[in-house]
Structure 1
């Protein structure tokens, strides 16, 4: 049955992903954060890493690793070093709570509705990063999209059999061709052979129908759910 009065399904999903699949959230957050750091450092240098450009004013010189504590565990952050001066990402290291909230929200939304350059661009703006080019933002979207797609289509027989499977639907509104329409998010979680809970699948449907549920479970079975 569709859960009533759901205002922010992406927020609920980020909690579900964090609780049931913390390794996934850490991996996706690490991908986004380190991609942002690399692109931001390139912007400070005036040119992308390894590129020959008359606009270059500095060069990269390796990384320094720092632990970043988040709600889904500690992430290894690779902060780029410069040959001249110091690169300090204050948007991440000084405003951690705001940055983490924005990052987790975008990762969950991308998992739910798909990765887009527009969503990544909104994330960059919300963090106060103003120096990235559209091509840099687009490449980050492509990288995150590959990570999300790999998880959403991963074989389930590798972590099964699942001793318990639960499914629910969340109501939400999405923008489609310039219009805001109602939709439902079908979510399945399971307890695997090791006793850990994980998100098995997520699918957006126009309505909660028998056909939508059948297609959703058929995909889970095809991926090895047992």
Structure 2
């Protein structure tokens, strides 16, 4: 039940609805006896909803860590082939080459986020940040 409530925060259509759903979830958690979970979600609110300051079209991409996980998996796959490295410099060279290759691939072919849409980021929303703590319900 708690996981379903928390997931509902991320399914909102805009930033205001996302923060409003956070308040609703906190209230429901408090009223159903999950005060510890409510406090945890409230403490992490600014971090877990940081994506809401960006354009809505980017939300599915920036609210998860899937790209990071894929990159880590690729590094593990390539380093497992080598097994034991002779020294630290060898590890740095291999991982550096993998990172450079991935950077080139993302910059040229994959275009995870279009630069034009990134220009539309509302800088005032970024500067303003999340709602004040006194506007959120107490845990």
Fold in common (TM above 0.5): no
TM score, norm. by length of structure 2: 0.30
Give the structure-1-normalised TM-score.
Answer: 0.21
- Structure number with higher relative contact order (C-alpha < 8 Å, ≥ 6 residues apart): 2
More strand by share: 1
